[in-house]
Amino acid sequence: MDAIDRLGLLAHLEEEYCELDHGPDTHKEKRPAVDFIIQPFGYTVNSIEEVAVREMIVPVCTDCAEALQGNDWTLFYCFECCSSQWVHKKFAKNRYRHNILWLRGCPECSEEFGGLYFTDIKAIMDNPLFMSRMSVSDVA
């Protein structure tokens, strides 16, 4: 993402609402977004060159941003249909150590599972996930 695209997104942040699921009977609530999750998807050409084919840009509210930075929740996010679901790590059947699990295809949009990508915020502190934490050099 270049600096101009980043500035454009930040300029329209006031008009954005959180796109993540907040639980049953909350789909009509509009929670103002305070930041964007930026997740590049791509491939590595060689040890120096990486190509971001696509970037997921998801507006998030204060509660979701805090949950993503904590140790209690994992977010499942399908980047095909943009559906999301939170899993409380304490009550989950599986032990999830990542903050976000990106799905390519989910039961909502596909009968075929296309892959799993993960984001562990603690592991990428040098490469911030939230747009507000990106420096100009991160996007240039």
- Whether pLDDT at 111 is above 60: yes
Report pLDDT for 45. 76
Q: What pLDDT, in 10s, does the model give residues 4-21?
A: 877 888 888 888 999 998
Considering only CA atoms, which of 107, 108, 53, 105 is closest in space to residue 80?
A: 105
- Whether pLDDT at 134 is above 60: no
Tally of domains in the chain: 1
Report pLDDT for 19. 92
Range of the domain at 101: 3-139
Report pLDDT for 52. 66
To which H or E segment does residue 60 belong?
A: strand 50-60
Q: Residue 115: which region, alpha, beta or left (left: phi > 0; alpha: psi -120 to 50)?
A: left
- Whether pLDDT at 62 is above 70: yes
**Alpha-carbon gap, residue 44 to 53, rounded angstroms:** 11
Q: Is 18 exposed, middle or buried (0-12, 13-18, 19+ CB in 10 A)?
A: buried
Considering only CA atoms, which of 33, 85, 80 is closest in space to residue 58?
A: 33
The pLDDT confidence band at residue 125, using thresholds 50, 70 and 90, is: very low
- Whether pLDDT at 107 is above 70: yes
The pTM of this model reads 0.73
Report pLDDT for 54. 74
- Joined tokens for residue 106: 């989910």
Q: What pLDDT, in 10s, does the model give residues 28-55?
A: 788 999 998 888 777 677 777 777 677 8
